[in-house]
Amino acid sequence: MSTPPARSLRLAAFFDILPLSIAVIPWGILCGSLAIQVGLSPLQSQLMSLLVFAGAAQLSSLTIVGASGGIATILGSTAVISSRHLLYSATFRNSAIALPLHHKMLMAFLLTDEMFAVTENKRKELGRFPLDYALISGATFYVIWNLSTLAGIVAGTSIPNLESLGLEFAIAATFIAMVVPNIKSSPVLVAVLVSAFCAVLFHKLDVPNDLLLSALIGMVVGYSLDKEAL
């Protein structure tokens, strides 16, 4: 398998992550405006995206802040929502273990669902872990996320009830765009369908940690089917 030039790989990192980055702009706008509405200052709102950089965790935390929840609730919610990153980091572990500490720390900070999706696809394509690709795709997403948060902060100070526009649909749209291209076998398809069914069912039944449980059930079913097919 031929190795693409470094410049070509870096450009690919930018353009591969760009559609997913654009898709989350409404999500970032919602996050910025919601931060203003729950009482954060514009500086605090922007620092949240600059330092936390975790869309779902940010929205969850802001919702809890708006409901006068405590720090323990925020930390617990963040831990549950971000637990999927353990799977992402485990996937990259063997490739990243020999990297210098500063590269490991940068990768850990930039690791998102979107960065993982495009980098894992590129790793499979190349047969090796593309560090530059991972960092550039992650940094591109980081910049666009923060710019969209800034837009939300500006809008939140001038446009009332911005959340009524339904911008949160960007969350679902982004994950659909990441999942569908990776459905390349029957076990994966069944895992996705089972997870989706369980997510809807558990949500209707008000089951705690419904998304996490749904994902785990889907993974177990998909893994079992994949083992039977071997």
pLDDT in tens, 206-218: 887 777 788 788 8
Q: Give me the residue label for tokens 């690791």.
A: 111
pLDDT-based confidence at residue 110 (cuts at 50, 70, 90): very high
Query: Is the predicted pLDDT of residue 190 greater than 80, yes or no?
Result: yes
Burial class (CB within 10 angstroms; exposed 0-12, middle 13-18, buried 19+) of 11: middle
The pLDDT tens digits of the residues spanning 74-107 come to 787 777 778 778 888 888 888 888 889 999 999 9
**pLDDT for res 170:** 54
What lies within 8 Å, CB to CB, of 41 at 6+ separation is none
pLDDT above 90: percentage of residues in the chain: 27
Q: Are 147 and 29 in contact (CB under 8 A)?
A: no
Mean pLDDT of the chain: 82
Q: Grade residue 189 by pLDDT with cuts at 50, 70 and 90.
A: confident
Nearest-angstrom CA–CA distance, 83 and 204: 23
Q: How far apart are CA 225 and CA 230, in angstroms?
A: 9
Residues 18, 183, 26, 30, CA torsion sign:
negative
Q: Which of 142, 170, 166, 162 is nearest to 38 (CA)?
A: 162
User: Where along the chain do its domains lie?
Assistant: 6-167, 183-230
Instruction: Please count the other Cβ atoms lying within 10 Å of the Cβ belonging to residue 107.
Output: 20
In a 13 Å sphere around the CA of 208, the CA atoms on its Cβ side amount to: 3
Residue with the larger pLDDT of the pair 135 and 65: 135
HSE, CB side, 13 Å, CA atoms: give it for residue 121.
Answer: 17
Between 141 and 39, the higher pLDDT residue: 141
